Amino acid sequence: MELLINIAVALEMIFVNLTTSYLCLKKKASNLKIISVLTIFTVVVVSMSLLFITRMKIYGNGNGLFAIIGFIYLLPLKYLYDEPLNRIMVVVCSSWIYTMFVFSLSVHIARLFDMYSFSLTAFTVQTTIYALTVYPFLKFVKEKFIYVLKNIPDRTNKYLQNASLTWFATAVVVNLAFVQYDNSYLKLIAILFLAANALTSYLLIHTIVKGSKNIELLQKIAYTDNLTQLRNRTSLFREADDLVKSEIPFSLIYMDLNSFKSINDNYGHLTGDEYLKRFAKEASSVLGASGALYRMSGDEFICLYTGDDVEKLLNALVVRNWKSFQDIKVDFLGVSLGHVSFPEDGLALDYLIKEADKRMYEHKNSQDNIPSYIIS
């Protein structure tokens, strides 16, 4: 009877682990093939494990060894699932850690009760814990853990794999320590494994944090204009598109610096670059918190404005006394503007930008290009 219960405990652990792999890994074999191969493999593994379980005097030791033997499930899983071996290993380790923790907890709780069958009590407790926790565990692994595995760089993946392996080894040792009260060696080994886990976990966290900073830097490079440090056209499309999807009203003001080519021709490109940076600084100060300025290309800029007084803003842009240009001994030659509003002038972002560009050129090509703007 005790042997049958031990087998039931082992099979329950296997079922949870294989279900985790089935739900979280990309399959390259049919469901029938997966079930058939894993069933045959499980029969072989359980039969081999029985040789150890029947020789253990204290309940649970065999299941600890069984967890180690069960690690060879990597062989059929690699054959059945279309995933890198390190990702399969991390998922398998995480699943075994969970099942061994549940098993150890079940044994510990069962010892609190003076029942006729200790093994049956432990098995009942284990089944109850699975009933309460297996769904949240599978949901976490499938929706959160797998997402992390697929989106972290290879170096971080390596640290995560090492951390998973050390945590798995610790779970095995702790599992054995739970069921053997007087084994000081196991307790010492458990402490050493915990120390190793602390180190690998620190390295993992350090790598993730460092990687996050690199991602932030790459995002800044991707969405920032290198010369003016304004947001670029990629950033404009992303942020304006969010406003369109959310149906939040906004205005686009397309701006082109008048006669900018003459600045480069007469004063040189270094002065031209400084001219662009001064304009970016001055225009941004006019916009304040209600708008953001983006450099589209060359001497063309766009303002994304969410305030409620766009006419005041337009007048401030064209009559602005650009005092900072005096420092580079170049007069500010003015700016041509074209203005559109969402949703009044259109619902598609591409159309709005083209229309604002068109109105800007109408303003630029007007008879004397007086400080005014085109609204419609």
pLDDT of 285-325, one tens digit each?
888 777 889 998 889 999 999 888 888 888 877 765 566 67
Question: What local confidence, expressed as pLDDT, does residue 93 receive?
Answer: 79
Query: What is the pairing mode between strands 250-257 and 335-342?
Result: antiparallel
Question: What local confidence, expressed as pLDDT, does residue 6 receive?
Answer: 75
pLDDT in tens, 99-155: 877 887 787 788 777 666 778 888 888 899 999 999 988 888 887 777 766 666 666
Q: 163 pLDDT exceeds 60? A: yes
What is the band of 52 on the pLDDT scale with cuts at 50, 70, 90? low
Question: What local confidence, expressed as pLDDT, does residue 364 receive?
Answer: 81
Question: What local confidence, expressed as pLDDT, does residue 333 receive?
Answer: 81
Q: 371 pLDDT exceeds 50? A: no
What is the band of 33 on the pLDDT scale with cuts at 50, 70, 90? very high
Question: Would you state the structure tokens that stand for residue 171, as one six-digit string?
Answer: 């779970």
* Least confident among 215-224, 230-239, 271-280: 215-224
Q: 190 pLDDT exceeds 50? A: yes
What is the band of 226 on the pLDDT scale with cuts at 50, 70, 90? confident
Computed over every residue of the chain, the mean pLDDT equals 78
Distance CA 71, CA 306 (A): 58
* 8 Å CB contact between 41 and 108: no
Cβ-Cβ contacts under 8 Å for 113 (sequence gap 6 or more): 121
Question: What local confidence, expressed as pLDDT, does residue 37 receive?
Answer: 92
* Least confident among 88-102, 130-144, 197-211, 225-239: 197-211
Reduced 3-state DSSP string for 80-119: HECCCHHHHHHHHHHHHHHHHHHHHHHHHHHCCCCCCCHH
What is the band of 89 on the pLDDT scale with cuts at 50, 70, 90? confident
Q: 68 pLDDT exceeds 70? A: no
How far are the Cα atoms of 78, 160, 212, 214 from residue 150, in angstroms, in the given order? 17, 12, 15, 17
* Least confident among 165-169, 171-175, 179-183, 226-230: 179-183
Q: Residue 280 is inside which H or E element, if any?
A: helix 269-287
Domains of the chain: 2-219 (no CATH), 231-364 (3.30.70.270)
What is the band of 369 on the pLDDT scale with cuts at 50, 70, 90? very low
* 8 Å CB contact between 310 and 339: yes
Question: Would you state the structure tokens that stand for residue 223, as one six-digit string?
Answer: 């969405």
Q: Between 352 and 364, name the one with better pLDDT.
A: 352
Cβ count near 139 (within 10 Å): 11
Q: Between 324 and 79, name the one with better pLDDT.
A: 79
Query: Could you tell me which of 225, 242, 333 has the C-alpha nearest to residue 279?
Result: 333
Q: Is 57 helix (H, G, I), strand (E, B) or coil?
A: coil
* Least confident among 125-129, 249-253, 311-315, 338-342: 311-315
What is the band of 54 on the pLDDT scale with cuts at 50, 70, 90? low
Q: Residue 209 is inside which H or E element, if any?
A: helix 184-223
Question: What local confidence, expressed as pLDDT, does residue 62 receive?
Answer: 47
Question: What local confidence, expressed as pLDDT, does residue 102 receive?
Answer: 83
Q: What percentage of residues in the chain have a pLDDT greater than 70?
A: 70
